[in-house]
Structure 1
Amino acid sequence: MNEKVNLIAPCGMNCSICMAYLRKKNKCNGCRAVNTWNPKTRVECKIKNCQTLTSEGFEYCYPCSRYPCILISKMDKRYRTRYKMSLMENLNVLERDGVEAFRSAENEKWKCKYCGGVINVHKAVCSHCEKAHEPQ
């Protein structure tokens, strides 16, 4: 799996905009990273470790016959409410347009207008210049 796919979690989260990935100390290597230190929440993630996802060999949740399941629905609601981002919308774009188009759009969407750094989705601040941004 290449790095671009590796930084997009099965749930549709773009790990490159996550505060755990962007932090300097104890940095997460993305939800799909193996043989590296990752927080317990990523290692034991119920979505990433979903039996259907793993047994069917799906890269993402959208091809699953149970999509959207209760886990994705709850997480999507939390992200829409707290961070103004929809994981299900991300998954729909991945299915419709593919990984490269999704990554390209995400890079533009989460680019700091002041310095070009990456906006942290969880804090709505640039990870480089630390200037605040309105939630997307």
Structure 2
Amino acid sequence: MLFSRARPLILVIDDDASLRRQLRARLVTHEAVDVVEAENGVQGLLQAKEHNPDLIILDWMMPDIQGDEVLARLRRESKTKTTPVIMLTGKNKFGDVESAFDLGADVYLTKPFTLQQVGLKVRELLKMEK
């Protein structure tokens, strides 16, 4: 995949500050990407519009706008309608998984997951060599 910048940019939208820090550390160190963070859905939509990331990691359960609504809005925007999205969630019922894919999620990872799993999916979606 060709990128418009030196390193791919990933937007992490999650209300869990600890998880955002862990993801940033893993992705910057092991996947050689840059990371922008958002702590809620509203901020995430603004960051997506401002930075036009190459990939978005999105939590489903957030206090303001749920991840499924954020995903639906991202898919309606011309700049982000084809941006790969990894959904992170504790919701593991079949209907939830199906709903996420219907809305346009590319990957659906249920908690607990490992940072290595996330890194692998990032590399796959961005077609990066290890």
Q: TM-score range by the shorter chain?
A: 0.3 to 0.5
TM score, norm. by length of structure 1: 0.32
TM score, norm. by length of structure 2: 0.33
The structure with more strand, counted as a fraction of residues: 2
